[in-house]
Chains A and B, each alone.
Chain A
Amino acid sequence: MGRAPAIAAALLATVGAGGCTGELPARGEVILVVDTDLPVPQLASALRLDLYSIDESEGLRWYESRTIALPDPRDWPVSFSIYNPPDRQERSALVRLRVYPRGRERDYHGERFLPPPPEDLPPDQPYRPPEAGQPLRLMDRGRDVTPPTEPSPNLTVDRLFRLRLVEGEVGRARIELQGACVGTMADLEGRRSCVSQEKMLEPMEELGAEPASGFVAASQQGSFAPRSGCSRPARPPTEMPGTGPYHDDEVCVPGGAFIFGNVEAFGIDKASGVPERVAVLPSFFIDRYEVTVRRMRRAFAEGFVSPDGSPYPNPGSFNTQLGPESPSYCTYTPTPGPREDYPVNCVSYETARAFCDFYGGDLPTEAQWEYVAQAAGRGAETPYPWGHQEPRCDQVVYARVSAGLAAFTGGNQCVQVSVGPAPVTEIGAEPGDVSLGLGVFALGGSLQEHMRDDFLPLDTVFWAAAPIWSPECQYEDPTSHSARGGTWAAPSSLVYPGLRVESQLGVGMLIASSTSLGFRCVWPDAL
């Protein structure tokens, strides 16, 4: 303080004007410490903050929106402060925090709240957000600066709370955005959001500034559904001396969380891969190869009985003058022959599932299969099992049709390699049709595979209500099952694991024409 003010202060004291100081009370301020238990950056790499004021006459007014990318786990927990300007002693505001994977956004058409579906709705009924919602706009001094997009609700943890700030009060408040709430959208109008329990909306709480303790807790990021290994070794391959390998070895698939669904498979009628959602799976085992002819024959020898007589037996060789629907492309032979190492096709869903059950397993769910094809064994999800590279004829078994309609619609792009299904021993040029990290074969091409799930589009009541943990579609009186994967008869555009397939095959002739369908089994990791 300079000499002049010091003299003036002394004078003030002399004349009894004491009690005035140079310090004003602090602005009411809270430092929000935001953390998440979702894995960063796989399921959480951006944070969005929105502020609303509540006016008795005007209702809700949206006045602030900020988004920041936080792709590094070391960025968490993140903190920033909200303060009360000095023109008013006390203020309240609605604070909305949303954490989501960066890039997963949808166009903003107003506040389109979609609650978890009520239990009495039919599972196959469409369940979609309204086209346009509550017309809430972000205004800045009379200008409309509303962001054009918002985080996709299905992949977002969405939390709402009230913040009250009083002049002079400074402190901290910690908010944890929990993975159990991912996919449960906050109800802005009803002032509700999910706090810690899946699909449960609770009234918003009120927070104020808590005195800072000086201790900052470590981030919880990654503690939601941590990746866990298997509890036992995987089954090794077996071989019959003089006959050949059964290709029956299994692979451990560590559990974890991933994005189930594919925005790249958008708009393909009911087989669309949207809306995406988060799914969490425990560890399990999966067949490294598709079930082969030799392995099926061994099952029959060990007492397995097919419920419908499939797989369809084909004593002859592939007739390359015929289209892919010809039973001449069925691989199973009545007696051991030259196709023992081929994946078995022309087999029904019922027989496939009974085969897996015979050995203590089951068909994979769509979530399990997609997890292995696009997420498991790698740091970030990839479009193809082997990575990002587009499939090539010398690498994947696809487009090997020489006749019929499919030959003129892109199904013959790879006939220079061979025509028809190929043995599981055909590895292919680098990187091969082999999944990253885990080494599971033929998830890209070869045969489409039976899934355990009944087929329903992802925008139906069932999937909206499905749990985050181990989702599986089973409902009363299904009309079709699911299938996944590319096939030897498919053009390159269908060699994409994100494409969902509705399989409506029955018995008899239709099975004989299902030359593109095979299967593999999964086993639980009993802990």
Chain B
Amino acid sequence: MRAPTTGPSLVIGGMVLSAALGLATGARAQPSPAPPPDPSALADPAPESPPLETPSVDPVERARELFAEGIDHVRNSEWGEALADFQASSALRAHAVTTYNMGASYRAMGRYTRARQQFLDALQRHAQTQELPPHLLEETRRFLSEIDAVLARVPLSISPASAGVTVDGAPLQTQRAGDVTQLVAGVRSAGEGEPIPDGKGTLLLDPGSHVILVSAEGYQHTVVNRTVAPGSNPQLTLKLQPKPSQLRVRASTSPAQVFLNGDFLGIAPLEILRPAGTYELKVVADEREPFTSLVQLESGKAHLVRADLTEESPSVLESWWFWTAAGVVVTGAVIGTYFATRPEPTRPPLDGGGLGWVVPLQ
């Protein structure tokens, strides 16, 4: 991975300067931030600071204390603790310099998308408040340029477009950059996936490994592991497959053969999986009226069909009085009648084994 060009000392130096600006002098007395003092006159704020043994009640003073504590953590390379202090300081009293420091902390921790967001926020705030001194303003723009070269930009296409997407367990933040929809990963808290506009966009990722989950109602969700190199832009197209539907068939008598669209499936009871759609179901058994039905299968759902097989209506030819009346007058006629009305010969039922699979050869 290409290293950021700024060494730790300069970053720390930037933060120390930031600590002395804005929040250090007279901020409590003035509702708006004081103009930045001459940088050459700045010194380590520690000798002028009161001992921070008891947190202040005044929010501005407390914000200053937290800011200074954050700088101390930076000196010890304790980036996580520094970030927490800067965030707490910003919650009490927002300032573009504090936001800049948060961005620098994220950058040192390798969280480039978060760093980018903080630097963009710092520039946005600066546009209204002019809080960033010129060298920090330039530094912010330079960091953004550096991060833009490090981030992976993945052209992403999802089908169906309504599918929700998460990266590493969190939804994406959607931004517009001209005509392009940018999908920024790693800046939002963990949560459910959300659809992306038109199912398309450019995914901004930190270099490294990520888990991408795409899910939609009625579809089988997809989980993809991707490792992206700095500055790379590999295409990612994900198409979800509809969930199959489960069809369960029960019959009122046994054995009963089950056919679906004319294909023999096996002996009831059975369960099968099929794509969503409409099918013709037929269940037949000896000496029973065939059961037919149109079944509408829906993705991801189970359907149960109970085939109630009624007895066949008795034929007049099977009535005893017919034969008595016919007698044995004409031998050939009797034989012909017998062959026309005798019961259908049957075969022994199929076994199916433990699985109940009865598979025909072709």
Whole-angstrom CA separation of A409 from B110 in the bound complex: 6
Answer yes or no: A27 CB below 8 A from chain B CBs: yes
Given the interface pairs A4-B323, A81-B352, A415-B78, the reply to whether A24 lies near B359 with Cβ below 8 Å is no
Candidates A11, A78, A81; contact of B351 at CB < 8 Å: A81
Chain A residues near B356 (CB-CB < 8 A)? 80
Q: Which residue from B80, B328, B341, B359 sits with its C-beta under 8 Å from A80? A: B359
Could you tell me how many residues of chain A have their Cβ less than 8 Å away from some Cβ of chain B?
67
Residue of A nearest to B323 (CB): A7
Whether A81 contacts B350 by the Cβ 8 Å rule is yes
Determine how close the nearest CB of chain B comes to the CB of A293; give it in whole angstroms: 26
Give the residue name and chain of the A residue nearest to B332 (CB).
A15
Check B225 for interface membership: any CB of A closer than 8 A: yes
- Across-interface contacts of B347 in A (CB, < 8 A): 23-27, 86
Q: Name the A residues within 8 Å of B209 (CB-CB).
A: 493
**B294-333 interface with A by 8 A CB criterion:** 317-320, 322-323, 328, 331
- Interface pair B335/A12, CB less than 8 Å apart: yes
B346–A7 contact, CB under 8 A?
no
- Bound: A14/B354 CA distance, A: 46
One digit per residue, 1 when the CB lies within 8 angstroms of any chain A CB and 0 when it does not, for chain B 331-347 equals 10011011001110111
Q: Mark B1-17, 1 if CB is under 8 A from A, else 0.
A: 10110001000000000
A216 CA to B304 CA in the complex, in Å?
Answer: 33
A64 to B358, CA, bound (A): 12
How near does chain A come to B49, taking the closest CB pair, in angstroms? Answer: 23
What interface size band does chain B fall in? 35 or more
Closest approach, in angstroms, between the C-beta of B235 and any C-beta of chain A?
Answer: 15
Q: With A24-B346, A410-B208, A412-B108 as known contacts, state yes or no: A53 contacts B362, CB within 8 Å.
A: yes
Q: Which residue of A lies closest to B78 (CB)?
A: A416
Measured between beta carbons, the chain B residues less than 8 angstroms from A403 are 8, 77
Question: What 1/0 flags go to A72-83 for Cβ under 8 Å of B?
Answer: 000000111111
0/1 interface trace, chain B 225-241, chain A, CB 8 Å (1 if under):
10100000000000000
Question: Which residues in B have their C-beta under 8 angstroms from that of A491?
Answer: 110, 208
Task: Determine if B109 is an interface residue (Cβ-Cβ < 8 Å).
Answer: yes
- CB within 8 Å of A: which B248-284 residues: 263
Q: How far is the CB of B325 from chain A (nearest CB, A)?
A: 12
Residues of A2-48 contacting chain B, CB below 8 A: 2-5, 7-8, 11-12, 14-15, 17, 20-27, 29, 31-33
CB distance from A51 to the nearest CB of B (A): 7
B77 touches A407 (CB 8 A): yes
Within the assembled complex, what's the spacing in Å between the Cα atoms of A415 and B323? 102
Are B351 and A416 in contact, CB atoms less than 8 angstroms apart? no
Residue of A nearest to B331 (CB): A15
B177: chain A residues at CB < 8 Å are: none
The 8 Å CB contact of B3, one of A91, A140, A408, is A408
Known: A15-B331, A268-B227, A409-B110. A80 touches B352 (CB 8 A): yes
Looking at chain A's contact residues, the main secondary structure is mixed
A176 to chain B, nearest CB (A): 16
Q: Are B361 and A7 in contact (CB under 8 A)?
A: no
Contact A493 B208 (CB under 8 A): yes
Return the chain A residue nearest B207 by Cβ. A409
Whether the pair A408, B355 counts as a contact (CB closer than 8 A) is: no
Name A31's contact: one of B77, B322, B351, B361 (CB within 8 Å): B351
Known: A15-B331, A264-B225, A267-B227. A8 touches B355 (CB 8 A): no
Q: How far is the CB of B41 from chain A (nearest CB, A)?
A: 29
In the complex, chain B residues whose CB is within 8 Å of the CB of A12: 335, 338
Is B86 in contact with chain A by the CB < 8 A criterion?
no
Q: Does B119 contact A (CB under 8 A)?
A: no
Q: How far is the CB of B22 from chain A (nearest CB, A)?
A: 27
Q: Verify if A63 is at the interface (C-beta below 8 Å from B).
A: yes
Q: Is A84 an interface residue (CB 8 A)?
A: yes
Check: B134 CB closer than 8 A to any chain A CB: no
Are A405 and B3 in contact, CB atoms less than 8 angstroms apart? yes
Chain A residues with Cβ under 8 A from B362's Cβ?
Answer: 51, 53, 61, 63-64, 91, 93
Nearest to A17 among chain B residues (CB) is B335
Complex Cα distance A415/B357, Å? 60
Partner pick for B345 among A23, A91, A409, CB 8 A cutoff: A23
Residue A49 is within 8 A (CB to CB) of chain B in the complex: yes
Query: B78 to A83, Cβ gap below 8 A?
Result: no
Give the docked Cα–Cα distance between A66 and B77 (Å). Answer: 58
Q: Is the CB of B328 within 8 A of A11?
A: yes
B351→A15 contact, CB < 8 A: no
Q: Would you call A85 an interface residue if the criterion is a C-beta within 8 Å of the partner chain's C-beta atoms?
A: yes
Distance, CA A20 to CA B342, complexed state (A): 10
The reply on A448 being an interface residue by CB < 8 A is no
Once the chains bind, are A5 and B328 in contact (CB under 8 Å)?
A: no
CB of B61 closer than 8 Å to a CB of A: no
- The verdict on A51 contacting B357 (CB below 8 Å), with A11-B338, A15-B335, A29-B350 known, is no
Given contacts A33-B353, A80-B357, 20 further A-B contacts (CB under 8 A): A5-B341, A11-B323, A11-B334, A15-B335, A23-B347, A25-B347, A27-B347, A51-B361, A78-B354, A80-B359, A81-B353, A83-B350, A140-B263, A264-B225, A267-B227, A407-B8, A408-B108, A408-B110, A412-B109, A415-B79
Identify 26 residue pairs between A and B in the complex whose beta-carbon atoms are under 8 Å apart, listed by A's number: A1-B343, A5-B343, A12-B338, A15-B331, A15-B335, A22-B345, A23-B348, A24-B345, A25-B347, A26-B348, A31-B353, A64-B359, A66-B357, A80-B356, A81-B358, A82-B360, A83-B360, A84-B361, A91-B362, A267-B227, A408-B108, A413-B109, A415-B78, A415-B79, A416-B78, A493-B209
Listed from nearest, the 6 A-B pairs whose CB atoms lie closest are A79-B353, A80-B357, A80-B353, A80-B355, A410-B110, A8-B338
Interface residues of A (CB under 8 A from B): 1-5, 7-8, 11-12, 14-15, 17, 20-27, 29, 31-33, 49, 51, 53, 61, 63-64, 66, 68, 78-86, 91-93, 140-141, 163, 165, 170, 264, 266-268, 402-403, 405, 407-410, 412-413, 415-416, 419, 491, 493
